[in-house]
């Protein structure tokens, strides 16, 4: 434990952490339906979440602790390019409005719990179901690790050192998730989001006031970027625009392919609930824009940090009293617990339904499914914790980059099947394999950077590798489906 421990901040931090812990265990009795009786109850909260609960839940697992840490860090480091998260969250909500109600209807009609369930129903292919499930599970693991990294940053800022505080926090998370399932993060999300809103709204008023106003903030940031040179700046450079646009579009298409965001969709009580959320959720985009501005404020405050990830904690430590810093740090830490819980539940649902039930015990009972999922959720959390403790942080960042690329390759199998049955499982499997292989090879060859470069006519065009892989995926899926249809036309799946 550090000698620089801020006891006031720690006391506030522990108070709110204890509050959400109690809420997490209470959540098992919060809604009707025994948690242990059915995977629907443990893994989807009984499919009974209305507009407000869904809004907080989806917002809670979409805007994570690492978002609060990483977005300002990126803006601090590179400037305008770090704002790509804003257009991608603007793009994603019309997509949610148009597509996710159809997915909910397909899942609700057949009692599906996962995206892989829906894919199997659409194409009657165990192979396609399995690759969608495995992709979802693999892509989720580094995402959970990033939440722990975000929590670790604020715990370190309070003055606690070593791994024990993170381990203790995650043990508590594991226990109440095991006990209450999806109801725990759904209930805690209320507290988390209200706290985050308070922290950000106070920060964007108080911090500029202490630094001489927004004019001084932007002037200081511009001076810092000018001195740094390169691709940094308050305004995008022409050569950055294609990369910025493709990264925003690709991220938007990938966002609701992740198991944790889809879990919030499947847990909603109606398709209309999802439409209302698509209308209400852009309020979080406004919040994200305000969060991003903290990166510019750090330049105006002349912060010197060892890592850009330390920008937000240091800003609060330098400019706010200890009690408010503790409040802010607890908000960020709780912001790690909510998505980490939902992510582990989403991964557990996939394993239970699409690996255990499909290949190991097809006759498992509903209560048996819930038991398996609870155990798997623990294993997933332990794996993410071990990843965070024993491997360098950069590994989690690199794998999260690849995870976004990989999960994007499930888009054709899941989304196209909601609108047409023309595609064949064979073609979609080939497309998935091509996208995964080319995208992974290209990203690896570029040093695990998110962008690839295309040289045409003497000019170089940088674009998001994941989106390029998706285009290849779709092309191969179309060609593969056409060939499969010619070879065995009678096996084409009729529209249901």
Residue 459 DSSP class: E
Q: Cβ(423)–Cβ(412) under 8 Å?
A: yes
pLDDT greater than 70 at residue 51: yes
Single pTM value for the model? 0.91
Q: Work out the pLDDT band at 493, boundaries 50, 70, 90.
A: very low
Q: State the Cα angle at 74 between 286 and 310, rounded to 5°.
A: 100
- Burial class, 161, CB count within 10 angstroms (exposed 0-12 / middle 13-18 / buried 19+): middle
Residue-wise pLDDT tens digits, 280-298: 888 888 888 889 999 999 9
| Residues forming a β-bridge with 462 | 453
- 173 versus 435: which is more confidently predicted? 435
pLDDT greater than 50 at residue 156: yes
Q: Which one, of 63, 381, 341, lies nearest residue 187 by Cα? A: 341
Q: Cβ(332)–Cβ(12) under 8 Å?
A: no
Query: 10 Å Cβ neighbour count for 248?
Result: 22
- 231 versus 209: which is more confidently predicted? 209
Which of 107-111, 170-174, 366-370 is least confident? 170-174
The fraction of the chain above a pLDDT of 70, given in percent, is 97
Q: Work out the pLDDT band at 492, boundaries 50, 70, 90.
A: very low
Residue 268 DSSP class: B
User: How much is the pLDDT for 322?
Assistant: 92
For residue 42, give both structure tokens: 């443990």
Q: Cβ(333)–Cβ(168) under 8 Å?
A: no
- 459 versus 280: which is more confidently predicted? 280
User: How much is the pLDDT for 112?
Assistant: 94
Which of 153-162, 288-297, 319-328 is least confident? 153-162
pLDDT greater than 60 at residue 490: no
Q: What is the mean pLDDT of residues 188-201?
A: 88
The dihedrals phi and psi of 461, each to the nearest 5 degrees, come to: -120, 120
Q: Work out the pLDDT band at 496, boundaries 50, 70, 90.
A: very low
For residue 181, give both structure tokens: 């399932």
Q: Cβ(2)–Cβ(164) under 8 Å?
A: no
pLDDT greater than 90 at residue 273: yes
Average pLDDT over the chain, rounded to whole?
88
Q: For the domain 7-411, what is the CATH code?
A: 1.20.1730.10
Map out the domains of the chain as residue ranges. 7-411
- 100 versus 23: which is more confidently predicted? 100
The dihedrals phi and psi of 451, each to the nearest 5 degrees, come to: -110, 145
Q: What is the mean pLDDT of residues 190-213?
A: 90
User: How much is the pLDDT for 494?
Assistant: 45
Q: What is the mean pLDDT of residues 104-123?
A: 94
pLDDT greater than 90 at residue 431: yes
User: How much is the pLDDT for 1?
Assistant: 44
User: How much is the pLDDT for 259?
Assistant: 93
Q: Work out the pLDDT band at 375, boundaries 50, 70, 90.
A: very high
Q: Work out the pLDDT band at 336, boundaries 50, 70, 90.
A: confident
User: How much is the pLDDT for 33?
Assistant: 63
Q: What is the mean pLDDT of residues 77-100?
A: 89
User: How much is the pLDDT for 472?
Assistant: 97
Which of 203-207, 282-286, 481-485 is least confident? 282-286
CA-only gyration radius of the chain, Å: 22
Q: Which residues contact 346 (CB under 8 A, 6 or more apart)?
A: 114, 136, 140, 258, 259, 260, 262, 263
pLDDT greater than 70 at residue 495: no
pLDDT greater than 80 at residue 35: no
Question: Which alpha helices (H) appear in 409-464, and where do they start and end?
Answer: 411-415, 425-445
Q: How do beta strands 459-464 and 451-456 pair? A: antiparallel
Q: Tokens 């927004």 belong to which residue?
A: 214
For residue 122, give both structure tokens: 């659409």
Instruction: Find the length of the chain.
Output: 496
pLDDT greater than 80 at residue 142: yes
Q: Work out the pLDDT band at 28, boundaries 50, 70, 90.
A: low
pLDDT greater than 60 at residue 389: yes
Q: Work out the pLDDT band at 258, boundaries 50, 70, 90.
A: very high
The Cα 107–Cα 101 span in angstroms is: 10
Q: What is the mean pLDDT of residues 326-349?
A: 90
| Residues forming a β-bridge with 453 | 462
- Burial class, 198, CB count within 10 angstroms (exposed 0-12 / middle 13-18 / buried 19+): middle
């Amino acid at each position: 434990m550090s000698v620089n421990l801020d006891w006031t901040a720690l006391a506030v931090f522990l108070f709110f952490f204890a509050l959400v812990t109690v809420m997490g265990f209470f959540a098992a009795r919060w809604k009707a339906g025994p948690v242990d009786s059915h995977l629907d109850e443990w893994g989807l909260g009984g499919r009974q979440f209305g507009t407000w609960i869904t809004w907080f839940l989806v917002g809670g697992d979409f805007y994570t602790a690492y978002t609060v840490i990483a977005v300002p860090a990126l803006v601090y480091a590179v400037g305008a390019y770090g704002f790509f998260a804003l257009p991608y969250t603007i793009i994603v909500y019309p997509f949610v409005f148009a597509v996710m109600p159809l997915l909910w209807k397909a899942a609700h009609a057949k009692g599906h719990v996962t995206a892989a369930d829906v894919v199997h129903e659409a194409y009657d292919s165990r192979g396609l179901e399995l690759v969608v499930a495995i992709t979802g599970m693999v892509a989720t693991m580094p995402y959970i690790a990033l939440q722990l990294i975000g929590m670790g940053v604020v715990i370190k800022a309070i003055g606690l050192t070593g791994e024990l505080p993170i381990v203790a926090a995650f043990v508590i998370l594991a226990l109440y998730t095991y006990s209450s399932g999806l109801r725990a993060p759904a209930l805690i999300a209320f507290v988390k989001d209200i706290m985050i809103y308070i922290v950000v709204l106070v920060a964007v008023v108080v911090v500029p006031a202490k630094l001489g106003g927004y004019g001084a903030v932007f002037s200081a940031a511009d001076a810092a970027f000018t001195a740094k040179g390169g691709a940094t700046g308050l305004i995008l450079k022409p050569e950055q625009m294609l990369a910025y646009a493709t990264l925003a579009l690709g991220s938007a298409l990938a966002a609701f392919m992740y198991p944790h965001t889809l879990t919030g969709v499947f847990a909603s009580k109606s398709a209309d609930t999802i439409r209302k959320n698509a209308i209400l959720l852009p309020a979080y985009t406004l919040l994200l824009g305000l969060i991003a501005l903290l990166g510019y404020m750090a330049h105006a405050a002349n912060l010197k940090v060892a890592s850009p990830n330390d920008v937000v904690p240091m800003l609060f430590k330098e400019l706010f009293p200890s009690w408010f810093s503790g409040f802010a740090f607890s908000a960020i830490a709780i912001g790690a617990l909510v998505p980490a819980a939902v992510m582990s539940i989403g991964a557990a649902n996939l394993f239970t339904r699409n690996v255990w039930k499909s290949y190991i015990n097809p006759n498992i009972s509903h209560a048996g499914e819930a038991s398996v999922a609870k155990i798997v959720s623990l294993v997933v959390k332990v794996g993410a914790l071990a990843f965070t403790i024993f491997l360098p942080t950069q590994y989690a960042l690199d794998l999260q980059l690849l995870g976004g690329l990989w999960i994007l390759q499930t888009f054709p199998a899941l989304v196209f099947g909601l609108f047409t049955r023309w595609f064949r499982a064979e073609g979609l499997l080939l497309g998935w394999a091509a996208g995964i292989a080319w995208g992974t090879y290209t990203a690896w060859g570029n040093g695990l950077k998110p962008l690839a470069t295309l040289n045409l006519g003497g000019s170089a065009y940088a674009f998001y590798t994941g989106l390029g892989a998706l285009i290849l995926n779709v092309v191969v899926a179309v060609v593969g489906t056409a060939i499969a249809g010619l070879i065995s036309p009678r096996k084409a799946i009729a529209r249901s």
